[in-house]
Structure 1
């Protein structure tokens, strides 16, 4: 089975009239004004660098709108938290010595938690290969012949 393709590519290879090569309707995104949000001035340095890294690519794909500012800021700050925690573990090690003996370094848990949050935020913008494929998915239009394997 082939990978899901972005809507623009489905249309390019399609049959015309908004359908893909299999004749299925390609879902179009809502008609928001596609203008990237302005980065908040309170972003940490690492978060601001991530904002500068991802916004141009997302803008080229017309994925950003002004209303995305909060989620994009949260993604960037989560990235910053992840980076700080990973650097701390790299410097201080995976474990710490405590009265109870050796324990996992607290930054290990912080990095793990931030990584989970990061994946969730990244999925909102298609910033992973799997999430990128999901951005172009078409909902069920109710046609019985749209997927001969479902049932």
Structure 2
């Protein structure tokens, strides 16, 4: 699976200097979408709605979401809800089940695994993965030579 390109806002947040990405390349900011946070769909499951309420404030603060991101964010939140439900089922019922064929993996194990993959895929689009969090935490450099993308990368 190909990795989706990071949104321009994420590239700029992690950039080495204004208007540049972490590699020092100029970032095309793309179209100037109005950055209004989307309203949660009323059909979200309770767990998905709770996840929406948890992540939307930070995404909005960083100007990473717009109204048209509603479907993608809803898909992320529902994948989270499925992951939670499947994980809770495994915790209650165990990793395996007894069947005519013998001991098998509980179906909720595969459901949790698939939901986790889908959730991570959607999360990457919004900068919600641990690697993106670390990139955001590093910020824009501040090493004094921000115009040179290779500064400080060589042997000491």
**CA deviation after TM superposition for structure 1 residue 6, in Å:** 4.5
Q: Relative contact order, CA 8 A, sep 6+: which one is greater?
A: 2
1:1-151 correspondence to structure 2 within 5 Å: 6-8=11-13, 10=15, 14=17, 18-19=19-20, 24-131=25-132, 133=135
Structure 2 CA distance for aligned equivalents of residues 115 and 129 of structure 1 = 14
Cα RMSD for the two superposed structures: 2.8
**CA deviation after TM superposition for structure 1 residue 113, in Å:** 0.5
Structure 2 CA distance for aligned equivalents of residues 20 and 47 of structure 1 = 32
**CA deviation after TM superposition for structure 1 residue 37, in Å:** 0.5
1:96 counterpart SS class = strand
TM-score, scaled relative to structure 2 = 0.73
Q: Give the number of equivalent residue pairs.
A: 130
Which blocks of at least 5 consecutive residues in structure 2 are unaligned? 1-9, 140-148, 151-156
TM-score, scaled relative to structure 1 = 0.75
